[in-house]
Every structure is written in structure tokens, then in C-alpha cells.
Copies of this chain bind each other. A is one copy, B any other.
């Protein structure tokens, strides 16, 4: 069996300050997204990002953009689904990726549309529950329920990264544990 990590892609959706400022729990969201990006980097999971109309709305939050590797592709988009961003399909095909880990904002809009389109394209989808958010907290649960009914996965980031390591004897376990602790502060 080939290494499952080679087929996962962490996709960071629209984590721009222009949107983050409207998210009630933005400080927690930024901390948890930072953790996921660092953990993905540590474990060799492919990472990409999208930005909604960046020429107008600005780039990804600087703290988060510093977490990902320098060569991380960042795709501009006007559509709400990340899969409409020019170049993103090529990132999926080249790596190649068959399962997307989604983080970012907003659950009822871009995350939802990305997940639905990805599943329609036969890609697996997992939302990292602690790394996705929205302006209107009451809109979160219905979208989660609906996506689960459509067979998307929704799991905490730690569940994914501990599963990828599998054991405390994994060579990166020590470094990973440091990330867990830093994100808990």
C-alpha cells in the first residue's frame, strides 16, 4: 500500500484578514489553523491556499502565511468554490491528491461549496472541525449535518494528525507534541 500522506492535500481557504475580522472566534481559529498548517508541514502533507479576490481584499493573514512552506501555491479566485480557482486542479493532479483536508472560512459559503464540488469530482473531503468557522455561529451546525449526510468527513485536526502518525514512536512525534502544546496555550 502506498503512503496515504502522499495523497492528502491541506487546502487553506480564504484566510484573509478582510474576512477574519468578521469571525467571532478569529483568535482561536487562527491558532488552530496555524497548528494544522505546521503539523501538515511537519508530516509532509501537501499544502495549498486560496484567496478570494486578493487584489481587492488583500492576502492571507500574515501569521498564517508564515506557517506554510515558502513554495506553497496560493490561488486567487472569484468563485466561492476553491475548485474553481485557476491552477488548483493542476495542484490536485500533479501531487496527486485524492483527499482534501479543508480549513478556513466560511463554513456555509466557500467551505460548503468547495466540499460539494470536490465530492462531485470523486475527491474525499474532510473538514477540520476546529479550523473552519463562520460569521453566523447558528449556521454552522446545519451545514455540518448536511455535509455529513452527503458523506463528507468532519473531524478535529488532532484526530487527523495523530492518525497519520499512528504511534508515539513516529520519528516526528516529539516535534508534533510541541505543536500540540503550543496551540493549547
Taking Cβ atoms with an 8 Å cutoff, the residues of A that contact B are 52-53, 78-81, 84, 108-109, 112-113, 116, 129-130, 135-136, 138-139, 142-146, 148-149, 151, 153-156, 158-159, 162-163, 165-169, 184
Instruction: Tell me if A84 and B159 are in contact (CB < 8 A).
Output: no
Instruction: Tell me if B129 and A156 are in contact (CB < 8 A).
Output: no
Q: In the complex, given contacts A113-B166, A129-B142, A142-B155, what are 7 additional A-B residue pairs having Cβ atoms less than 8 angstroms apart?
A: A80-B165, A81-B166, A84-B166, A109-B159, A139-B156, A143-B156, A146-B155
Chain B's nearest CB lies how many Å from the CB of A26? 16
Q: Specify which chain B residues have a CB less than 8 angstroms from the CB of A130 in the assembled complex.
A: 136, 138-139
Inter-chain CA distance A137–B84, complex, in Å, is 35
- Copy number in the complex reads 4
Q: Specify which chain B residues have a CB less than 8 angstroms from the CB of A108 in the assembled complex.
A: 155-156, 158-159, 162
Given contacts A113-B162, A138-B130, A145 and B148 within 8 Å (CB-CB): yes
Instruction: Tell me if B129 and A154 are in contact (CB < 8 A).
Output: no
